[in-house]
Amino acid sequence: MANPFVHVELHTQDVAAAKKFYSSLFGWKLEDMPMPEGGTYTMVNVGEGVGGGMMKNPDPKVPPHWLAYVGVDNVEASTKRAQELGGKIHLGVTKVGDYGWMSVIQDPTGAYFALWKPAAKK
């Protein structure tokens, strides 16, 4: 597959409750780390398969949800192409610390997903 899902991220107002629930249910290994813009991000290590993260929902009016990230070679071009195909840009291309770049798109059916391009490893 050319562009696989590479990360899934939970946005919730109660990260502590989510951490307790998912780690107890699935045995996920969780690691808190500081976010570049402040706050804490919880990395989810699932062993095999696609891992993810958990964070406090930046918009308290939006219900808790999982956001799937698709890996791309060029986040700018893929974001532009999604818009050309009828997608709506919810968050334009954004640098995430030294980790990489992302954007968030709403597809023509109303579903949201994110694009991800990791930074080159040093």
* Three-class secondary structure of residue 81 per DSSP: helix
Residues 12, 5: Cα–Cα separation, whole Å: 21
**For residue 67, what pLDDT is reported?**
96
pLDDT of residue 2: 82
- Chunk the chain into consecutive blocks of 10 residues (it has 122) and report each block's average pLDDT, rounded to whole numbers: 90 96 95 90 92 92 95 97 97 93 97 95 72
At residue 115, the pLDDT reads: 98
Q: What is the per-residue pLDDT for 1?
A: 56
CATH number at residue 77: 3.10.180.10
Residue 105: its pLDDT value, please?
Answer: 98
Domain count for the chain, please give it. 1
d(CA 35, CA 39): 6
Q: How high is the pLDDT of residue 122?
A: 66
pTM above 0.85, yes or no: yes
pLDDT at 37: 82
Q: Note the pLDDT of residue 97.
A: 87
> Domain of 75?
5-118
DSSP code, position 58: S
